[in-house]
Structure 1
Amino acid sequence: MAISPAATKVGFVGTGVMGSSMAKHLLNGGYEVHIYTRTKEKAAELLELGMVWHDSPGELASVCGAIITIVGYPSDVEDIYLSERGIIGSAKPGTYLIDMTTSSPALAVRIHEAAAAAGQHSLDAPVSGGDIGARNAALSIMVGGDEAAFTEVQPLLSLMGKNIVLQGGPGAGQHTKMVNQIAIASNMIGVCEALVYAKHAGLNLESVLRSIESGAAGSWSLSNLAPRVIAGNFEPGFFVKHFIKDMGIALDAAAEMGIELPGLSLAKELYGRLADAGLADKGTHALYLAWD
């Protein structure tokens, strides 16, 4: 049966900075949304909106026809999908499993194989756009998996994102997200260094931003995160600790392919200093504080 509000209960695991907005879009799209997150109290707003709570991912999986996950680390993904009472062990045959966590490409392949053996359909579908993209249903969604499954879940993905592309087979979505993170990492160094230079040159940072963001220096990070830096707001759209995790995954994958990524290595080192200074729960634009 095709995915639709009338026919499909949707499970959502991980209702954090991005996940809560994404789950709301599904609810507003007419779907009955079932949720699980580690701390029930943090999901109070979603429960008040009418979402249904479950005490474990496995319990949620047993009643849903499609399940979306966006959690912290590959170890979390592995546990909720592959543990004995996890999602794959609890979901019915025919269920669609969509992991939107930025995770390991190799793990995505393992999950796909385990899901297929259980008669389920698995897609790795990491996202880019941070809290702003999640809130505006404008995420970029990079998908790996079977084309037939990708086509079936379009009604769900289209409620959360604008740029939705099937990149290839299992793991291809995660590899594409690594490409995205590699590009962001070095760009963020450039954005922060530019702002530090402007400040020490005695320039008005808001005026400088107006001049450079529409030119060759323009980027999403410059337009969306530099204003937060200028305002002294370093709260997360995307956590430093999760970006460090992503860079580690990319560097491990690069090593397996026999390539060097010196820009990414430098960025990971600089972000490591932030984490060591107690700033792991700040946003990625807090890299500015490494200089200031």
Structure 2
Amino acid sequence: MELKFENCRMEVFHKGRHYLLSRVNLASDINTDKAMTIDARTGSFGGTMIGSSVNLKGKVDFASDEVPVGDLQLSFVDVDPSSLDLGINIYDKMTMDSHLTGPLNDISGEGRLQMGELHIPGLYFQDVEGKIHYDGAKLDFQDVTASVYGGRLQAEGTYDLDTRYYQIHGVGRNLQAAQALPKSHLYCNVDVDLNLASKGTSRETTAYGSFVSGEGRYRIMPFKRITGKFNQAYRDLQFYDVAIEFAGFSVATDALQIKDKKLTLSPINLKDSLGNDITTIDVGRE
């Protein structure tokens, strides 16, 4: 039996997920004793995920096993990440291409993701690319790379399609402070270790990690390095264990916090090269 749809609307349910597809063009040759071929292209889609189009092409084998076995090429084009409940507003488009194989009730596969650019609070990435693995319930991201402020990021993570929970770990190398903070008069390379986790809402999304710089300067003052840790939960961004090493002495502070655009800085401790206290400066609140 040959089946053909032109410019139709289609509604798809799969494992509790719901998709609404527009401008569907589908051609299929079906023989339930042997096999089925399918070639489908759509316009914009919504529901569990929102994007510009879906492309599906491949074959389903009805004869080789008790459950029909698929061999399918599937692409989701220009997916809106904000529709995935990431807990942070991301509207840069993402495309995922995958090759899925196995029984239709437990199909899995490998693929790739691409984003021309990605904006998240405080960071701007370009040319995002990586590998994906789909097992029916989760998307695993591996070997994800991107350009960020003159440096490079490598990341990996897991996203649960049903709970919308995810975890991401990334390492950034040789980020340029002058590009990230163009009006700060800070010039140095920075390495960052970043972790991002969410349970599907902004209140349950956290980011934490550490950073270390190379030699650089602030305005005309040279320094050896800057180190510290950070934690962000909902609208609170806190830096702690921050230390700036100069020739002969260092500057340290237990906590720097930004909340609702207000800065709180705990006392700054000046130490000599041996770690002995020189003085403490209480800068208070701006």
What's the TM-score, normalizing by structure 1?
0.24
* Larger fraction in strand: 2
Greater relative CO, 1 or 2 (CA 8 Å, sep 6+): 1
* Larger fraction in helix: 1
Q: Which has the larger radius of gyration?
A: 2
